[in-house]
Amino acid sequence: MVVYSDYQCPFCAVWAEQTQPTMLEYVESGDLRIEWRDIAVFGPDSERAARAAYAAGLQGAFWEFHDALFAGGEKRAAADLTEEALVTLAGALDLDPDVFRADLASVEVDEAVKANADEAAAIGAFSTPSFLVNEQAVVGAQPTEVFIAAVEDALARAAG
């Protein structure tokens, strides 16, 4: 599953809270892999959050940072997405804040975030959340059952 998401998207936050845990059960059983592509469709705050999540991932804490950005199924206010607020969050998650700050400003992170946006644009994922489940597009924060059906269908096709 490839997830195209934006940290300022309220529907992405709801999906992360309500559906992602069920999808992670498939990951834990070895039946699904989730790849996350942060795309900044809501402007500079979204882009900074995407860069921050990628920077956290460089310290092995992408999911922890992601979950903190979508805590309680809510998107963060713009004031909580300033560079300083994101560095503070990184520190609260026991990341090295100096490394995090440097990564946040790095060419590597910039190129990765741009590559995710370019990939989304190339396949027509201009709104968030958008998903690919084994090449099957699912658009929007659909009910969990829609994702279960898509994964189960992909597993059945793979089995033969």
Q: Confidence band (pLDDT; 50, 70, 90) for 129? A: very high
Question: Against a cut of 0.75, is the pTM above it?
Answer: yes
For the stretch 132-145, pLDDT in tens is: 999 889 998 899 99
Give the model's pLDDT for residue 46. Answer: 95
Rounded Cα distance, 104 and 100, in Å: 6
The domains of the chain, with CATH numbers, are 2-159 (3.40.30.10)
* Rg of the chain, C-alpha, whole Å: 16
Q: What is the mean pLDDT of residues 96-117?
A: 96
Q: Is the pLDDT of residue 56 over 90?
A: yes
Higher pLDDT, 160 or 36: 36
Strand partners, 3: 36, 131
Give the helix ranges, DSSP H, for the chain: 10-18, 20-28, 44-58, 62-69, 83-92, 97-104, 107-123, 144-159
Q: pLDDT exceeding 70 applies to what percent of the chain?
A: 100
SS3 32: coil
Rounded Cα distance, 108 and 144, in Å: 34
